[in-house]
Amino acid sequence: MIDTIINITLLAFLATTSVAIVRMTNLFAIVMLFGIFSLLSAGLFVVMDAPDVAFTEAAVGAGISTVLMLATLALTRNSSKTPYTEASPAHRPWLPLIVVAVTGAALVYGTWDIPSFGDPNAPAQTHVARYYIENSIVETGVPNMVTAVLASYRGFDTLGEVAVVYTAGVAVLLLIGGRRPKTAVKLKDKGEQDEA
């Protein structure tokens, strides 16, 4: 009962946040709302008994990516004065609206066949999950099944994930890390003087 109330409240907040994100034009406020969105999702994951996922969502989604987006905002100019005037939309909104409504209705229709949450007979629970539940603590001695699966049974997958994270870091370094060419620095100085 209490779960249902919390779920409905969190989902209502999520919907409100997403509508607010779509309707806003202030990028700073949008970044803040993205953080709130991630935090609400983390709350939902906790209610669904997935604290590991909630942990990651709260740390990465609400924490790091908010900071990174703020850093990006600080690099780019404030959007309040766009250098171009936005053309009035030429198309009519009805066709896209119908497409979205039909697609959404199809997706909702599809959810009717999804097994209910936590159903032990769901296809996802009947293959390897049962083996992990019955054997993971005997074979690895690790009480947290998520860690056992992540680090031991699927160790090779996780190695690949770490390699992906490392590659992302290297790519960022190659693209925007390191020393900047002197001309760019000079141009930046000039721009700041012009502003002053």
Q: Hey, which residues between 47 and 66 contact other proteins (CB under 8 A)?
A: 51-52, 54-56, 59-60, 63-64
* Binding status of residue 21 toward other proteins by CB under 8 A: no
Residues 151 and 136: their CA atoms lie apart, in Å, by: 12
Residues 192 and 194: their CA atoms lie apart, in Å, by: 5
- Residue linked to tokens 């009947």: 126
Q: Hey, which residues between 161 and 190 contact other proteins (CB under 8 A)?
A: 162-163, 165-166, 168-170, 172-173, 176-177, 180, 185, 188-189
Give the chain's count of helices (H) and strands (E). 10, 0
Q: Which of 28, 3, 31, 33 is nearest to 16 (CA)?
A: 33
- Which residue among 1, 5, 74, 196 contacts other proteins (CB under 8 A)? 74
Containing 156, the helix (H) or strand (E) segment is helix 155-176
- To other proteins, the closest distance from the beta carbon of 159 in angstroms equals 5
Residues 157 and 76: their CA atoms lie apart, in Å, by: 37
Which residues of the shown chain bind other proteins in the complex (CB under 8 A)? 51-52, 54-56, 59-60, 63-64, 67-68, 71-72, 74-75, 139-144, 146-148, 150-152, 155-156, 158-159, 162-163, 165-166, 168-170, 172-173, 176-177, 180, 185, 188-189, 192
